[in-house]
Amino acid sequence: MKITAISIFPEYFSPLELSLIGKARSQSLIVFKSINLRDFTTDNHHSVDDTPYGGGAGMVMMAEPWGQAIDSILEKDGEIDLIILTPAGSKFNQKKAEQLSGAKHLVFACGRYEGIDARVGDYYRDRKSVRVHEISIGDYVVNGGEVAALVIIEAVTRLIPGVIGNPASLDEESHNEIGALEYPTFTKPATWRDLNVPEVLLSGNHGEIQKWRQEEAKRRSELGQ
């Protein structure tokens, strides 16, 4: 999978050199590139924002630098999924992660300030070669789309075959098909600061262990923990 992030802070994506994603990149399972939006400006100040029409606080990112940056990607790659990060987008979830994990090239438009001129999404939505997704990562506001893009990249890439060492761990974990949260887990020692591991997990009775885990997962999802 190809992933391109467009941002005025391309350095924000350096954690993608680490851990599982770093390894997947070295194996070319993922080809990641971040590009600087300011490289697509034409004025001396490399401006990317201006005041909002209709008034109000803050600044809005101008459409043209985004248009130039996205067109430069489309010149090299005929078909993309364009993800516009915005707190007004549809809420990201595991189902969306699964849907995006089949894409060939994900392009993340990471806005700052009060967001990107709305015509950018409209323009590319009308193009056959572009699927536009406006996505939020939750009901809160962060300073820009970069951390939201990192969340989505991590959730999506771990679903690509070969990225996770043990694919069985994908089945049992939280927010699987059933939607139940994962059961609590423990490792050695059996007693830590007077707290004991539940007896059933030490019993060796796999039927009872499975039953206990299902009940705990159900209890946790009901509690919303």
Residues that bind ligand 6GU (CB under 6 A): 85-87, 136-138, 140-142, 144-145, 148
CB of 133 to ligand 6GU, least distance (A): 11
CB of 58 or CB of 78, closer to ligand 6GU: 58
CB of 53 or CB of 140, closer to ligand 6GU: 140
The answer to whether 122 and 89 have CB atoms below 8 angstroms apart is no
Sequential DSSP letters for 127-152: -TTEEEEEEE-SSS--SSHHHHHHHH
CB of 143 or CB of 225, closer to ligand 6GU: 143
* Dihedral sign of CA atoms 82, 86, 89, 93 in order: positive
**For 97, left (φ over 0), alpha (ψ -120 to 50), or beta?**
alpha
Measured torsion, CA atoms of residues 25, 31, 37, 38, in degrees rounded to the nearest 10: 70
CB of 136 or CB of 157, closer to ligand 6GU: 136
